[in-house]
Amino acid sequence: MTRDEVLNLYFLDARSKLIDLAAFLDRVEGSAGEDDFRVRSFRAALRHLSESEREKAKAVLLTLSDPTTEPLEKATTKGAAGAWPQFKS
Amino acid sequence: MRYIEPHAHMVSRVTDDYAAMAMAGCQAVCEPAFWAGFDRGSAEGFRDYFSLLTEHEPKRAANFLLPHFCWLCINPKESEDLKLADEVLAIIPEFIDRPNVLGIGEIGLNKNSRNEIIVLEKHVDLAARFNQLILVHTPHLEDKLKGTRLIIDLLKNESRIEPGRVLIDHVEEHTAPLVLEAGFWAGITLYPQSKCTPPRAIDMVERFGAERLWLNCACDWGKSDPLAVPKTALEMRTRGHSEEKIDFLVYRNPCRFLGQSPVFKLS
Ligand SMILES: [Zn+2]
């Protein structure tokens, strides 16, 4: 597809999602409490969007992933949070 | 348009979903054994589930002229309990020769724990001994990258397993290259929130090539769409992909992979 065709097909959808992201952060920042590992990871992942690197989706996914390689001793829960709980900054 | 739904948990879906899939051009539906959203109380619960997958669901699907196939295993979410897992693994051979059983799946990892890995190894051994295809579930969200790496290492170290007879499912942009470069097939799961959306799935097809990829809806008891595959095919059309290429991805590819099992026959 040409740049114009991509934009015609996806710009309005992406614009809507961008505003949703901004509103989400407004909502988070307007709420009582502190940022946790999810918000810290989210903000770190957002930085990839404004950089010139080619594979932005991959970079975001890697930022939201557990980077370790050793198996867990025991599964104490079944669910996943969407970000790595030990994420620092 | 014709397509195969290679991953759908029809036990969790209503009859109208079978009707909608058939009307959209579905030619066969394949149902991996999975976590039902709650833990079964005993191995006997799995025996009942395997009976459902091999007797009851094929009848429901047949009402819409849909061939129904299935995969058997104890899923990774119930694999922390090694005793239960061993009991279920002992039941599987009783069902493995049933006429709609494609292989062992969806096995894999959930939280990447040591016990999950032990149970995964036992399933891989079972598949090797019974010469079965393998369908692998990769973990959710933040656990996917690590789990995919552990799964690939484990499968690569098992000399009896041919990568071309293994499909590793639920890949995303960060795991698809790992799976494909190791010689395995990769599945892209189309979900409204987690996993992958249709535009991202098509991006991956364009970037990595369609040679060893399939699309699936993995519809179950959660937020999911039984028509996600034909909807993605429609989006491929709007992006200018040819009917030939769409047919290759959504029909001929699943037929090529699943056709390695002697039970996968479409009339
Ligand atoms: Zn599944």
> In chain A, which residues have their Cβ closer than 8 Å to the Cβ of B145?
61-62, 65-67
Number of structural domains found in chain A: 1
Q: In this structure, is residue B202 part of a structural domain?
A: yes
Q: Give the distance (Å) from ligand 1 centre to CA of residue B98.
A: 21
Does residue A89 belong to the interface with chain B, where contact is any CB pair within 8 Å?
Answer: no
pLDDT band of residue B131 (cuts 50, 70, 90) is very high
Whether residue B150 is contained in a domain is answered as: yes
Residue A58 lies in a domain: yes
- The answer to the question of residue A83 being in a domain is no
**Window 49-68 of A, Cβ < 8 Å to B:** 55, 57-58, 61-62, 64-68
Q: Report yes or no on B115 lying in a domain.
A: yes
CB B25 within 8 A of CB B4: no
Which residue type, as a one-letter code, is found at position B186?
A: A
Which pLDDT score, from 0 to 100, does residue B94 have? 98
The pLDDT tens digits of the residues spanning B235-257 come to 999 999 999 999 999 999 999 99
Average pLDDT over every residue of B202-219: 98
A86 occurs within a structural domain: no
Determine, yes or no, domain membership for B264: no
Per-residue pLDDT reduced to its tens digit, B182-194: 999 999 999 988 8
Residue of A12, A16, A72 to mutate when probing chain B, most B C-beta within 10 A: A72
Which of A65, A68, A70, A87 best tests the B interface by mutation, with the highest count of B CBs <10 A?
A: A65
Which residue segment(s) compose the domain that A36 sits in?
3-64
Q: Which residue has the tokens 């370790």?
A: A68
Asked, for residue B66, whether it belongs to a domain, the answer is: yes
If one counts the domains in chain B, the total is 1
Contact call for residues B246 and B19 (beta carbons, < 8 A):
no
Q: Is residue A26 domain-resident?
A: yes
A69 within a domain of the structure (yes/no) = no
ipTM confidence score: 0.96
| Residue B79 predicted with pLDDT over 90 | yes
Neighbours of B70 (CB within 10 A): 25
Which of A66, A69, A75 has its CB closest to that of B116? A75
B10: containing domain = 3-258
Q: Is some CB atom of chain B closer than 8 A to the CB atom of A75?
A: yes
CATH number at residue B60: 3.20.20.140
A53 lies in some domain: yes
- pLDDT higher than threshold 90 for residue A51: no
Whether B145 sits inside 8 A of A67 (CB atoms) is yes
CA atoms within 13 A on the CB side of B189: 24
**Token pair of A77 as six digits:** 């829960």
Residue B215 lies in a domain: yes
Confirm whether B11 is domain-assigned.
yes
- Does residue A35 lie in a domain region? yes
Tens digit of each residue's pLDDT (9 = 90 or more) over B141-163: 999 999 999 999 999 999 999 99
Mutation pick from A8, A16, A61 vs chain B, by most beta carbons of B within 10 Å, is A61
Residue A50 included in any domain:
yes
Whether B267 is in a domain gets the answer no
